[in-house]
Amino acid sequence: MTRPYERCLLYGPSSLSDQELLAVIIRSGTKGASAVLLADRILHLESGSSGLLGICRLSVAELMAVPGIGQVKAIQLKCVGELAKRISTYRARQVLSFSAPETIADYYMERLRHEETESLVCMMLDTKNGLISEEMLSKGTVNYAVVSTRELFVAALRCRAVSIILLHNHPSGDPTPSEEDIRLTHRVYRAGQLVGITLLDHIIIGDNCFVSFNECGILIPGEDYDHT
């Protein structure tokens, strides 16, 4: 039987299964467990994070709980997961357009959809809708990213931004806006009008899906969605 490394050499990495790809990274197994078997155990961990995506979500300690996976192999696997996220982000950056919510969501998807708590990012833009800076303003609980409107606009004014875009993730994978999401968005929109900084959109990242407040028509406070 051809080993994964030899098969990759002969036919290329696309010929390998998920288990075999991981086995090439793991390189060696242990007594009674091949590298392929170790890879299979990692892909089927009983933690709600099975499959290749589990590598991004599992901690080093959780990976090391698999017999035969030591600290070195666990760190290698985590680095592979991080490398995959960065490659995806780099490719999405090439077509990033701040007037197209889907490109913004693609750019942040791999960075945010694996997070177990809500994180809120603010993108600061200049007069030509160019990205000046981005800032992680909050890492919250499982249900809500706590953010201070004052803190948000202090950061935007510091960068001399003329407009901003908010993004945050829903760990549940469902990007449907909550009542608190709507209240926060309307509070930021109104505050922005007072200081001369326009909130262009608020995008919620789910599991390979997103919701744009601007596209849904709920960005600007109005009678139907004004819950403040």
SS3 of the chain: CCCHHHHHHHHCHHHCCHHHHHHHHHCCCECCECHHHHHHHHHCCCCCCCCCHHHHHCCHHHHHCCCCCCHHHHHHHHHHHHHHHHHHHHHHHCCCCCCCHHHHHHHHHHHHCCCCCCEEEEEEECCCCCEEEEEEEEECCCCCCCCCHHHHHHHHHHCCCCEEEEEEECCCCCCCCCHHHHHHHHHHHHHHHHHCCEEEEEEEECCCCEEEHHHHCCCCCCCCCCCC
- Superfamily grouping for domain 97-216: Cytidine Deaminase, domain 2 (3.40.140.10)
Answer yes or no: is pLDDT of 225 > 50: no
**The pTM is what?**
0.65
Answer yes or no: is pLDDT of 128 > 90: no
Q: Domain ranges in the chain?
A: 4-88, 97-216
Question: Ranked by mean pLDDT, which of 44-58, 141-155, 206-220 comes out on top?
Answer: 206-220
Answer yes or no: is pLDDT of 177 > 50: yes
